[in-house]
Each structure stands twice: as C-alpha cells, then as structure tokens.
Amino acid sequence: MKFFLACAFSILSLTLSAQSLTVRGKITDQQGKGIPFASIYEKNTTIGTSANSEGEYSLRLNAGKHDLYYRAIGYRQVTRQIDLKTNYNLDVRLAEAVFELGDVIVKSDGEDPAYEVIRNAIKKRKAHLREADEYSTDVYIKGMQKMLAAPKKFLGKNIDDLGKEIGLDSNRTGIFYLSESESKLSYKQPDSYHEEMIASKVSGSNRAFSFNRASDININFYENIINMEGISNRPFISPIAENALFYYNYKLIGTSMENGELVNKIELIPKRGGDPVFRGFIYIIEDSWRIHSSDLYMTKQANINFVDTLSIRQQYIPVSSRVWLPSSIRYDFTGGLFGFRFGGYYLALYKNYDLSPGLTKKDFVEVLKITREVNKKDSIYWTQARPVPLTEEEKNDYEKKAVLAAKRESKPYLDSLDKVHNKFKPVQFVIGSGYNPRYRFRKEAYSFGSLINSAFYNTVEGFGINYQASYSKRLDSLTNKFVNFTGKVRYGFSSDKLYGSVSGNIPVKAANLFFNLGSDVLDLNSQGSISQLGNSINSLFYERNLLKLYEKKFFLLGVSQRFGGLLGSLNAEWANRISLENTSDYTVRDLKSRSFTPNNPFHSGIGNLPLFPENQSFKISLRGTYDFSNKYATYPTGRVHQQSKYPRLGVTYTRAFPGVFSSDADYSLLAFDLTKSDIKLGMYGQFKFWLGGGAFLNQTKIFFPDAKHFVGNMSLSYIPKINSFLFLDFYKLSTTDKYVEAHLEQNFSGFITNKLPLIRKLKLKEVAGINYLAQPNVKQYSEVYFGLEYLTFRVMYGFAYERATKVDKGIRIAYGF
C-alpha cells in the first residue's frame, strides 16, 4: 500500500510539473534598452513576477490561455494573449506613458488640479488603509549590495585583504551581499504580522540566513507617517497624510487611461527643503482615489543618514473588486562613508493573495519563523522557484562565493586564519585591546585584557592591577548559546592585598545557570558610580577620590529563564563584607585647595572611621520582569521575545536571613520599576521613562552595602543609563527606608534644529528631561536638563534642586549610550 501511494504521488508530481511551463523574455523601451524590474502579471489573478535589473523576466504558468499585463512605472501598460503549450519566449517593448492634461479646469484662485485629487485621496485614506481585514500572501525578496569604491587602507587595515575575504575584485569593487528569500506573510488589522520564511539563499555562506524580511521592507503610504528607522532620525510624511498639504506642493503632470480607469500623475514638491518628505511622483486613480503606484525618492536634503539617495517604487494590483494591495516594492540606494561608496537594491514581489485565510489572534503570537531547514534548498529548487532571473554578475557571484564558502568552512582554512589572527603582539597586549585568540573550528575564544586597561589607582589600594581573562565556547553553530568563564586577579601595592574570583555562565536547556565566587574590592554603590579609569584620573590629577570601596568574599549561585513575556531570575548569595580605609595619598598634582576624603563617604573629618563593622550576609533575591506581551520570533538560534508596545514591569524581592551560614543581616526589600524607552511621538521624536519605588519591609539589621543605591554622577563626563542622575552624589542619598524615583526624557529628533539652515546638516537631536528622587532624609531632589545629541554623544546643561533650593548646576557630557 505504501509503495502504491509513493508511486501514485510520484506520477502525480510528474504530471503536475509537466503542466507547468515557462514564459521568458526581455522587456525593453522603444530604444531597445532593458527596463529594470518591470512587472508582469496575469489578468484577474495575483500571479506575477518582475524583470531583473537588465529587463529579463521568467514566469511559470500552467498550460493554456493567459492574458499577461506588462507594466513599469512611467510606461504604457501592454497586454499580451498567449496560448501556452510549451516553454515560450516573448519579448515585449513598452512605450513611455503619455500623461495628457486635456481639458483641465483651473480654479479661479489658480490652484493646480492636483490639489483636488490629493484632497479626495486624503479623504479616502483611512478606508483604503483598512479595506483588507486580513490576508496572506507569498513574498519573494531579493537584496543586493555592491561596493562601488573603497580606499586601499582604513584605520590601518589593508582593505585589499578584507576585499578578498568578501569576494571583491582587485579594485575593491563588486557584490558584497546577495541574498534571496521566500516567505509566507500573514496580516490582520490593525497591525499584526506573521512571517514564515520558506527558503533562504545567501551568496558566500552555506549556513547564514537571509536578513531579508517581508515585514521590514513593507511600506504603506496610506499611513500618515512612514518610520524610516536607521535611515532618518524623523519619520517621513506620506504624500496623502492628514496634514500633507502643510508639507507638500502638488502639480498635475497629466492623466492616462489604464484598464478603463483614469490615472492621475502628480508631482510632489516639498514646501521646505529640510522637511522629512518624499520627492517624485504618485499615481492616483480617479473616482476611487486609491494609489495606483508611486515613484518616490529621498535625498540628503531631507537629512537622511548613510545613503545619499533612496528611491522607493511601489505598484498595486486589484486583488478583488474592492481591495488593491502591493504587487511589488523596490528600494534603490547609493551612499558613502569614510571613502567607501556603495549601492544596491531590495525587491519584494507579492503573489497568491488570499483575503480570507481564517486567521486568529493565536496565529500572530509568533511574529517570525525561520527554521534550520530554510537554507537547505539546492540550486535546482532555486532555478525553478526564483521569479526574477539572475544577471550574469549575480550568477558569477553565487558561483565564485560557493567555492569560497566551502573553503571557509574547512578546518585547514579556519586554522590558517586563526594562525594569523592569534599572533601575540606585545604592544597590543600592553596598551591596546589585549590578546584575544580564537579557534573558529572548535568554536572557542579566549580574551586576555590589556595591561593598561587593568592598571588603576585609588586611595584604598594605591596603584594596582585588576586583571581579567575569559573563555567562551559556542555550543552549536546555529545557536547563540555559549559557555562562558571569567577569572579575575586584583592586587593593590599600597594595601598589599591579593584578591581573586571566578564567574561562569552555563546554558541548560531553556534556563541559564550562573555563578560567581571568590574575593574582590567593590564599589559601595551596587548600582555603580565612577569607572576605574575615571576615578584614577580624578585621584591622580584632581585629588578627588570619588570611588568608595569595601572588601567582599562571596559565593553566588543563580538561574534565569524566560516564560513567554515573563523573564525570571533567582539567586542566592553568601558574603563576608569588610569596611576599608585609605592607605595612600599619592597625587600627581597636589592641589592646596583640595585634599583626599576618607573612604567613608559620611565621614568628613581627619582619619579613618569604618562605615560598618565586618559582617556576613546570606540573602535570596527574586526578580521578575513582564512585557505584557507573549509575542516572539523563532530563529534557528532559538526564540527571541519581542518588545511590547506597553511598558515593562519589574518586581524584585530580596530577603536576608539571619543565622543562616552565620549571617548577621536581617532585612527584606520589595521594589518595582516600570519603564519604556521607545515611545514614538511622530514628528516630535521619542519619549522614554523609568519609574521606580520600593520599601524595606523589615529593617532589623542592614549594612550600607545592602542599602538601596541610585545611579548618580559627580564628574563632567559619564556613561548614562535610563535611570541615571546628572548631579546626584554616589552615596549620600542611599536609603534603608522607602523611596520613589522617576526619570522622564524627550528626544525631539531634530524637530527644532532641522529648521535651522546651517545647523540642519549636523543632524543634531534636541534632548530635555527631568529626574526626581524622594526618600525620608531628602523629601524632594530633582534635576532639570536640556541639550543636544549626536550619534552616541550628548552635551547637556542642567540644574539640581533640593525642594525649591538650587544645589548644583553645570554641563554634563554623555557618551556610549
């Protein structure tokens, strides 16, 4: 029976494949030049394809009669009727579309007729945005990026050597990324997507997965604003947005008939050069006022990042009598940075729309699915499935890099790379990034810190070294699971004390085990205050020992795991804590107006007064965070939880148990925090906040390291966190009672600076915020600040108040956020 079924299935498959034939050819203009990415669709269906960058196309159809539409933006549509009995070659020549003004009625106020069309399109915008309650579709995406020019050297690196690794030619030009993917995309109003990648092919790698995503390349001009994250600091205004008339001027170029419908070609003209708007043409169908197609572009004048020009061409097709959906979307771009010039395109083709797939909310819990099997499809599969023919350059790239890929995965090749990379360089080890050998075939890596980064000075230990080395091993070539171990040795020459510790991270199924044991000298503020280097500079050159330290011997064991939208962790720690005193007062610059302070931040007198007696503690901490969402993406590396549109709630409970392992500490702390860092406010930028509060429910015996500490700052520059203060003392407002803190910040993303002609080119972002803290000893501490941000740097000016009294003010420079 099984044999019969297998034979029947094979015969059926052969019969079906015999009925599938191919129409191929080339689409050219009247001069015989290929029209890049022209569209071909069968009448009354959503079956179609696109030509490649040279105008060549290939379309698989069943045998029989077919009416084919040949379309390209700016060209007159052509219809061809064929009776397909065998593979067929059909070249098609398209003439430029003629858009005639005809009998245009010009209003008495001289307004262009385009405005009436646009007003009607704006009125119908919401209806067209919501006309498809749900759908599913097959999507083919192709991405190609080319290096157009590159310097011979960059940051001391030989680009010729790098070029050979990624397949560039001797002139450092050529394709450096080429990838194709097939996906099934499902959508449900208002904004739910599920995408399952069916096949993936990446030139130059047999193991990589395409980062082409249908949900990423999708763009919808029926939305009021178009977020172009990475490309622009600000969202772009749709040509038919509710407030589009404030940003655009319009000009009717003419009208043309297509399939019995009148199509208006309208030119978009920005009212102000620096506004985040599109240029080009949008095509609107008369009476239904829907988008027929668009041919738009953005330039540097609109302050986009990384690329000089980005063009977007989109075409729609009727899926039913009342619903039109995209048939193709194409992005073309060119750009340059630091002497590198690049260009490329991304193309998405949609077919086989189903407007009644019967989707439920459960279908969208998983937003993306990519299994390990999607990159296993062979060349025969892609020859049959690929809707857009490869150009000769792309064929050569696949062939050349297939050889490179096989070579790259071999042990001799990987060992040869490691041999070069793993050479010990004394100068790099002393003053550079250290020594970081790796063994790619074994998926292992070591890291030995540099001596310069390990050296420090503080008044407690004097000059010293805090040296760290680590080892990591990837458990699976397709997962992000690593085993990590880190060892530290610390020695202070003035205190003459040696410390050492080892920590590790071990994944066990869905959980993650971690441990840390040994001894160390740590910051009294568990949230962290000033960096080791920053404190060394302040101590040696400004006679400011801002960092306050204590000695700790400890053993910690914990586990963490995600359960849908809930991420939980549990750890237990035993520790012996000893208060430390200053042992050194060396300084390069001896300032008469300043002297070192005691290591006890609350003692300002002469001499040393221990902050707390030697003590032991045993505590258990439980932490849970919930994103109010159970959505996730499935990758070959495992599940990745997706951020929710709601704030994340965190709850922490810590209990110190007296008497357990001689523990002296006896307290319990309950704390919560609520945060979100990416609240989009359209043209007004982004807002973020962090709210926190808590209370010690049991205060029987608490030592200063157990207190609730805050992220303060006492220097000109610092690395900010979402819950950091600008002027707060590192230690003096720490509390063993209840507290409330709040951090609110608005990033205007250039809303103001982009309106200033010269400053606009700097691409600065305006930042303003408020920080607030209340606890029993200080009823109200607050900060107000404002400034400018560029890339990962920001300069701010702020004020600090206790109640209504100003206690500090000044400039702060933030970096690396």
Q: Is the pLDDT of residue 697 over 90?
A: yes
- Of the pLDDT bands very low, low, confident and very high (cuts 50, 70, 90), residue 411 is confident
pLDDT tens by residue, 495-513: 999 999 999 999 998 899 9
Mark whether 752 and 797 lie in a shared domain. yes
> Alpha-carbon distance 464 to 496, whole Å?
9
Residues β-bridged to residue 282: 266, 294
Nearest-angstrom CA–CA distance, 317 and 42: 11
**CB-CB contact of 325 with 316 (8 Å):** yes
The answer, yes or no, to whether residue 21 has pLDDT greater than 90, is: no
My answer on whether 171 and 30 are in the same domain is no
Question: What's the CA gap between 266 and 286, in Å, rounded?
Answer: 12
Model confidence at 11: pLDDT above 50: no
Whether residues 151 and 291 fall in one domain = yes
Question: In angstroms, how far is the first alpha carbon of the chain from the final one?
Answer: 66
pLDDT confidence of residue 690: 98
pLDDT class of 108 with cuts at 50, 70, 90: low
Span 471-487, average pLDDT: 86
Q: How much is the pLDDT for 478? A: 64
- The Cα–Cα gap between 174 and 341 comes to 11
- Residue with the bigger pLDDT between 303 and 374: it is 374
Stated pTM of the model: 0.86
* Residues 788 and 795 sit within 8 Å (Cβ to Cβ): yes
Report the alpha-carbon distance of residue 272 to residue 275 in Å, rounded. Answer: 6
Is residue 88 pLDDT above 60, yes or no?
yes
Question: Do 779 and 703 fall within a single domain?
Answer: yes
- 548-596 pLDDT, tens digit per residue, is 999 999 999 999 998 888 999 999 999 999 999 999 999 998 888 889 9
pLDDT at 3: 30
In a domain? residue 679: yes
What per-residue confidence (pLDDT) applies to 646? 92
Q: Is 98 exposed, middle or buried (0-12, 13-18, 19+ CB in 10 A)?
A: exposed
pLDDT digits 0-9 by tens, 344-355: 999 999 999 999
Percentage of the chain beyond pLDDT 70 is 95
Instruction: Supply the range of the domain harboring residue 25.
Output: 18-93
Local confidence band at 18 (pLDDT 50, 70, 90 cut-offs): very low
**Higher pLDDT, residue 132 or 274:** 132
Q: What is the pLDDT of residues 282-335, one digit of tens each?
A: 999 999 999 999 999 988 878 788 788 899 999 999 999 899 999 999 999 988
- pLDDT confidence tier of residue 613, bands split at 50, 70 and 90: very high
User: Which is nearest to 372 in space by CA: 189, 635, 559, 747?
Assistant: 635
Q: What is the pLDDT of residue 286?
A: 94
357-361: average pLDDT: 92
Q: Do 67 and 193 sit in the same domain of this protein?
A: no
Amino acid (1-letter code) at residue 733: L
Mean pLDDT of 650-663: 96
Q: For residue 693, is it within any domain?
A: yes
Among the residue ranges 199-213, 271-285, 445-459, 546-560, the one predicted with the least confidence is: 199-213
* pLDDT score, position 541: 94
With cut-offs at 50, 70 and 90, classify the pLDDT of residue 751. confident
Task: Please state, in angstroms and rounded to a whole number, the distance separating the CA atoms of residues 526 and 137.
Answer: 52
Q: What is the pLDDT of residue 477?
A: 66
The answer to whether residue 410 is domain-embedded is no
Among the candidates 360, 384, 406, a domain finishes at 360
The yes-or-no verdict on residue 164 having pLDDT over 80 is no
Residue 441: what pLDDT? Answer: 85
Q: How far is CA 244 from the centre of its chain?
A: 29
- Same-domain status, 309 and 190: yes
With a cut of 80, say whether residue 100 has pLDDT above it: no
User: Over 90: is that where the pLDDT of 149 sits?
Assistant: no
Q: 153 and 35: one domain?
A: no
Instruction: Kindly report the CATH number assigned to the domain that includes residue 60.
Output: 2.60.40.10
Query: Tokens for 87?
Result: 């593979």
- Is the separation of the CB atoms in 752 and 789 below 8 Å? no
Give the percent of the chain with pLDDT over 90. Answer: 56
Same domain, 54 and 173: no
Clarify whether residues 172 and 217 are in a common domain.
Answer: yes
Report the distance separating Cα 548 and Cα 600, nearest Å: 7
User: CA 240 to CA 167: how far, in whole Å?
Assistant: 43
Q: CA–CA distance from 44 to each of 131, 156, 317, 544 (Å)?
A: 19, 59, 9, 78
Whether 689 maps to a domain, the answer reads yes
| CA diameter of the chain | 101
Helix %, strand %, coil % for the chain, to 5? 15, 50, 35
CA nearest 489: which of 529, 458, 525, 448? 448
191 falls within a domain:
yes
Of 131-145, 216-230, 368-382, which has the strongest mean pLDDT?
Answer: 131-145
Distance of alpha carbon 398 from alpha carbon 387, whole angstroms:
17
Residue 647: inside a domain, yes or no?
no
pLDDT category, 455, cuts 50, 70, 90? very high
Question: Does residue 336 form part of some domain?
Answer: yes
pLDDT band at 105 (very low <50, low <70, confident <90, very high): low
Of 342, 360, 378, the one marking the end of a domain is: 360
In degrees and rounded to multiples of 5, residue 799 shows phi and psi of -130, 145
Quick one: tokens of 374? Answer: 């999607």
Same domain assignment for residues 50 and 160: no
Residue type, 483: V
* DSSP symbols for 410-474: SHHHHHHHHHHHT---HHHHHHSS-B--EETTTTEEEEE--HHHHEEEETTTEEEEEEEEEEEEE
Q: Are 335 and 308 in contact (CB under 8 A)?
A: yes
Position 313: which residue type? R
Residue 219 sits at the vertex; the CA angle it makes with 216 and 220, to the nearest 5 degrees, is 140
Note whether 57 and 204 are same-domain residues.
no
Number of domains the chain is built from: 3
**22 falls within a domain:** yes
Residue 10: pLDDT above 50? no
Side chain identity at residue 817, one-letter code: F
What whole-number distance in Å separates Cα of residue 817 and Cα of residue 814?
8
Q: Is the pLDDT of residue 8 over 50?
A: no
pLDDT of residue 19: 54
Are 89 and 199 within one domain? no
Query: Final residue of a domain: which of 360, 376, 391?
Result: 360
